[in-house]
Amino acid sequence: MNDKSRFVQKITPKSTDFSKWYVEIIRKAELADYAPMKGMMVIRPYGYAVWEHIKNHLDKKIKETGHKNAYFPLFIPESFLQKETEHLEGFSPEVAWVTHGGEDELEERLAVRPTSEAIIGHMYSKWINSYRDLPVLINQWANIVRWEKVTRPFLRTAEFLWQEGHTAHETSQEAEEETQKMLSVYKEFIENELAISLISGLKSEREKFAGASATYCVEALMSDKKALQMGTSHFLGQHFSKVFDVKFEDRNQELQYVWQTSWGVTTRMVGALVMVHGDDSGLCFPPRVAPVQVIIVPISVGDWKKTVLPHAEKVKKKLENKGFRVELDDREQFTPGWKFSEWEMKGVPLRLEIGPRDIENNNVVLVRRDNRKKQVVSQDQMIEKGHEILDDIQKSMLNASLKFREDNTHEVNHYSEFQAIMKSKMGFVKTLWCGNPDCEAHIKEDTKATIRVIASEKEKGSCVYCDKDAHLVVYFARAY
């Protein structure tokens, strides 16, 4: 056989080299590949199918909350970013600039969209005049360019795909409620659809989004015990509305600035699926976002193309008619065992095996990807059992993620203990912080750990670093 016949066995164990394991799985499972431009990737059809399921599920939830989709330009005039110097300083090292149109030099440089607050603020200033125009609830699905120095497929690339919501409100309270509501939408979506357990809370001043009054986020623990920011929701206050003069006449006929929010998630969620659920055999997708939920592998013995294959095609049709995303692997050049390994690599939640003996007994064999348990069921029960197993896989994967997070969350009171955990165990460290950014900075310098979230709960005690009075409950971790 050719080299491809052996690729399933050639994955670096993730316990040996997690980074190498991650990249190998992404490339060998055909989620993505490196583009010829440094720091960019090509999302292959199998990987893009995952993103499409994420997008379709989340888009529905966003629309259910009253938001409508729109699209804003990819290019943003430099003067728009310069109006908001704090915002520009936050992104300036990462901004890509267009200086020429064809052969002609542009009168003003155009930034390739690093985020859209500036252009959207400009447009809202034209569209909003009265309290009757509020709230404005707009979302867009778009690509973003940030000239990252260190990149990794899906986690951090020079160009990535995302969803960004931008809303304008009459009052501060409405905007704050919107910020919290969308954070809840993200948390529910990621836990229920991606089967990834999360913590949520407020970002510190050092870690918040440039130009925001407050940033809230959801964070997950990857299987190498580093944290990944999965989504953010920003209360922008009136910062951008004052810069871009987004005013409205209120109910007392007085001019006021609108209150704004922005919130987003990106294709890094695909990377999170790999790092949370993958193992040494490859991917392991939650059924709700898996490109293929059921793979049918006919057992190729004897004259199988005349005996087994037609029956397998009927089974495929039955599953499709009941809403399963299903494929039939009818390739002649590979053995059933090789196919089993390849589809394990690709993370398909459920494998259906069917051979001459199964046909004779009116059975099929169902094999789960998550725990590899095998079950023989009658074809009459196949549909019901298939749904039942996929539902159980979804729940089991979330429970496994939750258990991993809880097992790797350490409550500490003393800095020496904090340092020891970051040196050996890693994971989340739950502790108290006095709120002094100097303590936060020293901890990062010592341990490379940052505050991932400030929890909503409050406790009385001492700061883990300086021993002064503290009441802020925080979660530290090393992060991507």
Q: Looking at residue 2, what is its pLDDT?
A: 43
What type of residue sits at position 420?
A: A
DSSP 225: S
Q: pLDDT band for position 3 (50/70/90)?
A: very low
The yes-or-no verdict on residue 432 having pLDDT over 90 is yes
Residues 6 or more apart whose CB falls under 8 angstroms from that of 271 comprise: 22, 26, 152, 153, 154, 155, 228
DSSP 116: S
β-bridge pairing 259-266 and 255-257: unpaired
Q: pLDDT band for position 1 (50/70/90)?
A: very low
Q: Looking at residue 5, what is its pLDDT?
A: 43
232-260 average pLDDT score: 97
Question: DSSP characters for 359-427?
Answer: HHHTEEEEEETTT--EEEEETTTHHHHHHHHHHHHHHHHHHHHHHHHHHTEEE-SSHHHHHHHHHTT-S
Which tens digit of pLDDT belongs to each residue from 175-224? Answer: 999 999 999 999 999 999 999 999 999 999 999 998 899 999 999 999 99
Q: Cα 391 from chain centroid? A: 21
The yes-or-no verdict on residue 90 having pLDDT over 70 is no
β-bridge pairing 294-298 and 350-354: parallel
The yes-or-no verdict on residue 251 having pLDDT over 70 is yes
Domains of the chain by residue range = 3-277, 294-392, 409-477
| CATH of the domain spanning 294-392, picked from 3.40.50.800, 1.10.3720.10, 3.90.1150.10, 3.40.50.720 | 3.40.50.800
- Give yes or no for a contact between 189 and 183, defined as CB atoms under 8 angstroms apart: no
Q: pLDDT band for position 97 (50/70/90)?
A: very high
Which tens digit of pLDDT belongs to each residue from 33-48? Answer: 999 999 999 999 999 9
Question: DSSP characters for 32-98?
Answer: EEE-SSTT-EEE-HHHHHHHHHHHHHHHHHHHHTT-EE----SEEEHHHHHHSHHHHHHHGGG-EEE
What type of residue sits at position 409?
A: T
336-356 average pLDDT score: 97
The fold of the 3-277 domain, in CATH, is BirA Bifunctional Protein; domain 2 (3.30.930)
Q: pLDDT band for position 463 (50/70/90)?
A: very high
Which tens digit of pLDDT belongs to each residue from 153-181? Answer: 999 999 999 999 999 999 999 999 999 99
Q: pLDDT band for position 149 (50/70/90)?
A: confident
- What CATH class has 409-477? alpha beta
